[in-house]
Amino acid sequence: MGTRDLLFLTLICRLAWADLYLAPNSCHGRCHETFDKHHPCHCNSKCQRFGNCCEDYESLCAHDGFSRSSDAITKEELLTISEKIYKADINKARKEDIILNSQNRISPSETNDQVDRCPEPLYSYVNEELFSKPTYAAFINLLNNYHRVTGQGEHFSPQQLGEQDTFLQEIMKTAVMKELYDFLHQKNRYSSEQEFVSDLKNMWFGLYSRGSDERDSSGFEHVFSGEVKKGKVAGFHNWIRFYLQEKKGLVDYYSHNYDGPWDSYPDVLGMQFNWDGFYKEVGSAFIGSSPEFEFALYSLCFISRPGRVCHLSLGGYPVAIQTYTWDKITYGNGKKYIATAYVVSSTN
């Protein structure tokens, strides 16, 4: 082969190499890949912020990185599954089980005033027979297993660890959680119920450090039990916890700035309160829902829309849930813990 032939062959190889490794302009198979400045468009979680996503990013990657369109969880599917979960919540409070005394409503601009505008407790009556139901009882057993001030490490006894497992076992017996698992299984998020429960335990109960080097926090503690960080209440988005603390004289209800449109339970309330000396500017919570209902909706949104607003439908009314991921450490194969999850409304 002569010199001219060798040069020609080299040129052909270079062209073929360039064509083979041409910078891709699609997100197919590229969801959440590392940023590469040589690519004309991108498929990582920051591309929307910088406006350089590939055209098919939304359809392929915006649903937690599942590239197969059949695995992506659409807005319509979230509306449908949330209605199914809503209808499946047979353990929720009946209208006569709870009497609320919401009293004074304030504007969003007044939520930081720290003024007690409600002389009476929020809960005039709660039928405590609800708390004898297995999921309620298992949930309540968990609430006193935490130090509320961040910076104090959490150390669980074998009994307390067992209470976590009991809670998960009890809620998985309910129609609410079966609806959620069946949906996520169909969307190829989990291959078995055992895998699903194991992941729930990690994302909700896995410990991480919110205040110091101590493992002092978890998603469950923050969302359901509540914490105090830098002199303010953090999390605390559960009606059962609120009622039990108010009954003990540890919670002082100040006002509310949002009341949902539902005329039965579960409802949604955005409120201001003092928790044993610490103020909560806006604490949104479902009212009258079962523990499994809240756990299911927050989990659904964290799994399908982590770190974003998740739009759902409950009884024909729209509702949104905001979740945030804990990004400093991970578990498993890079999975993230729940930092928080709560109901959002047009006013909070």
324 CB neighbour count, 10 Å cutoff: 17
Q: Residue 69 class from Cβ within 10 Å (0-12 exposed, 13-18 middle, 19+ buried)?
A: exposed
CA–CA gap between residue 296 and residue 40 (Å, rounded): 39
CA–CA gap between residue 142 and residue 154 (Å, rounded): 13
Q: Which neighbouring-strand residues pair with 189?
A: none
In sequence order, what are the residues at sequence separation of 6 or more whose Cβ sits closer than 8 angstroms to the Cβ of residue 94?
Answer: 264, 265
Q: Active-site residue numbers?
A: 222, 237, 280
Cα 334 to chain centroid, rounded:
17
Q: How large is the angle between the packed helices 291-304 and 158-171, nearest 10 degrees? A: 90
Query: What would you report as the CA-atom Rg of the chain, rounded to the nearest whole angstrom?
Result: 24
